[in-house]
Structure 1
Amino acid sequence: MSGFIGILMLDTAFPCVVGDAGNADSYPFPVRLHVVAGAGSPDIVRGRAPDPALIAAFVAAARALEAEGALGIISTCGFLVHIQDALAAAVEIPVMVSALSLYPALRLSFGARPIGILTASRDSLLGGALQSAGIDPGAVHVAGMQDCAAFAGAILSHKSDQPDVLDSRAIERHCTDLARGMVAQHPGLGCFLLECGNLPPYAAAIRQATGRPVYGILDAAALLWRGAQG
């Protein structure tokens, strides 16, 4: 079957390394990136839905990808979970814009063991995004990358302030340290879920450092792709 997975991408300037949701080389199947103009990180990484004009822009982008032949749609930012329902209702193809949508299946898979969520912004996740995803904050452990200078300065800043070089080593050290700390504090942790589409490049390092399975938006994309194959 021909076609591709469509990727709704924030309007950013930092480089997306291989493994990042915004890098086409991260996928073993065809994808197509669609940048939503004006949708910068500060506009989306927050505890509530984007402004109405941006919601309309994302809906239009999803419809455009569908018209071009997309078999399913994901995104580069898990905080778009706030508009998951609106996007899914706007098209006839499956939509999973946030890795947080994987949570119900992981919850069932790991039984009573809690799940650790690594996010771009802990305050924003706890401030409303978990609620939008239907996740009980008391059932998960959350750590955020907002205090990592290499991450926040590149990914959470305004587009005009974002660098053209990403310190991936510093980001990897920080997120693996966070993951180790979560396991040390909560030894019963079953797995990690990466809310942020910029964190999958470090999934293997997190897995090696903690001995826990790691899931993210690339897994959602693979699920949609496999489901569309005849």
Structure 2
Amino acid sequence: MRVEGRKAIYGASVGILMLEARFPRIPGDMGHAGTWEFPVLYRVVRDASPDRVVRKGAEGLLPEFIDAARGLERDGADGITTNCGFLALFQKELSEAVGIPVATSSLQQVGMVNALLPAGKRAGILTISGSTLTERHLAGAGVPEGTPIETTEGGESFTEAILGDALALDVAAAERDNVAAARRLLERHPEVGAIVLECTNMTPYARAIRRATGVPVFSVVGFVTWFQASLQPKRWALD
């Protein structure tokens, strides 16, 4: 066997651009390395706080994200994703800045999910910040106009703990916030046949949301797992 090199790091095909945060990341959160069934490469983008990215439109941060993406590519990533659905804003610019595939946001699943659903049903979005999720974000992810959206804003703790970068997280309260918001989404939009979780910190609560609503729940972990399977197809043993 002959092998050739060109990377600094091998065996981790997905590179993840991380916000700079200190709130607890529990299993299921894409920032918890134990979430993944495959190795990943992390790169923290300095000064990209949750508040600055989600509530302030990531203003002034595009150069830092491009530099970090290029660094992941140099280190050996075969594809790049991010740990914030609001970074759909940078999908076009990041894709143009590197020579590998880029999947910035869980919101990019919405169109695909719509194609899976029965007639009369469509996907709805659950977001951490409905007040700052704009048409620019949705357009960047290719989300169809008029897609139903519900938010965890105004709940017990989830939105404020994450966007406020709190040092403690009440996991039970966070789950209640997510479940309550999902139920509101279906009550207000009975045509919703599946939920796409915008926020990457929502994945730990996907199972509870599924149980409470009875509809399929699509998260960033499922999205990135699908993405990784294209970058590193499984090797099958042949009998």
- Output the TM-score relative to the length of structure 1: 0.90
Alignment of 1:58-77 (within 5 A): 58-77=65-84
Q: Secondary structure at the match of 1:45?
A: helix
**Cα drift, residue 47 of structure 1:** 7.3
Amino acid at match of 2:225: A
Q: Does the 8 Å CA contact 1:191/1:214 hold for their aligned counterparts?
A: yes
**Matching residue within 91, 97, 102 for 1:90:** 97
Amino acid at match of 1:141: P
**Cα drift, residue 219 of structure 1:** 1.8
Amino acid at match of 1:19: G
**Structure 2: how far apart are the matches of 1:61 and 1:149?**
34
Output one character per residue of 1:33-88: Cα deviation in whole Å (capped at 9) or x when no partner: 2110000112111474x223x10110111111111111211111000000011111
For structure 2, the 5+ residue unaligned runs are: 1-9, 234-239
Residue 20 of structure 2 corresponds to residue 11 of structure 1: yes
Amino acid at match of 2:103: M
Amino acid at match of 2:16: I
Alignment of 1:21-170 (within 5 A): 21-46=30-55, 48=57, 50-52=58-60, 54-110=61-117, 111-126=119-134, 128-138=136-146, 140-157=147-164, 162-170=165-173
Q: Does the 8 Å CA contact 1:47/1:126 hold for their aligned counterparts?
A: no
Output one character per residue of 1:145-184: Cα deviation in whole Å (capped at 9) or x when no partner: 2212412332112xxxx33221111010111111122223
Output one character per residue of 1:14-46: Cα deviation in whole Å (capped at 9) or x when no partner: 011110121111111111221100001121114
**Structure 1: how far apart are the matches of 2:112 and 2:159?**
30
Amino acid at match of 1:84: Q
Q: CA RMSD in A?
A: 1.8
Query: After the TM superposition, which of the residue ranges 182-191 and 202-211 deviates more from structure 2?
Result: 182-191
Q: Does the 8 Å CA contact 1:46/1:79 hold for their aligned counterparts?
A: no
Q: Does the 8 Å CA contact 2:14/2:228 hold for their aligned counterparts?
A: yes
**Structure 2: how far apart are the matches of 1:144 and 1:187?**
16
Output one character per residue of 1:115-139: Cα deviation in whole Å (capped at 9) or x when no partner: 111101001114542233232341x
Amino acid at match of 1:30: P
Q: Does the 8 Å CA contact 2:54/2:86 hold for their aligned counterparts?
A: yes
Structure 1 residues 30, 137: closer, same or farther in 2, change over 3 A? same
**Structure 2: how far apart are the matches of 1:67 and 1:40?**
24
Q: Does the 8 Å CA contact 1:62/1:91 hold for their aligned counterparts?
A: yes
Relative contact order higher in (CA < 8 Å, ≥ 6 apart) = 1
Amino acid at match of 2:111: P
**Cα drift, residue 101 of structure 1:** 1.0
**Structure 2: how far apart are the matches of 1:47 and 1:189?**
29
What percent identity do the matched residue pairs reach? 37
When Rg is computed on C-alpha atoms for both structures, the one with the higher figure is: 2
Aligned residue pairs, count: 223
Q: Does the 8 Å CA contact 2:87/2:104 hold for their aligned counterparts?
A: yes
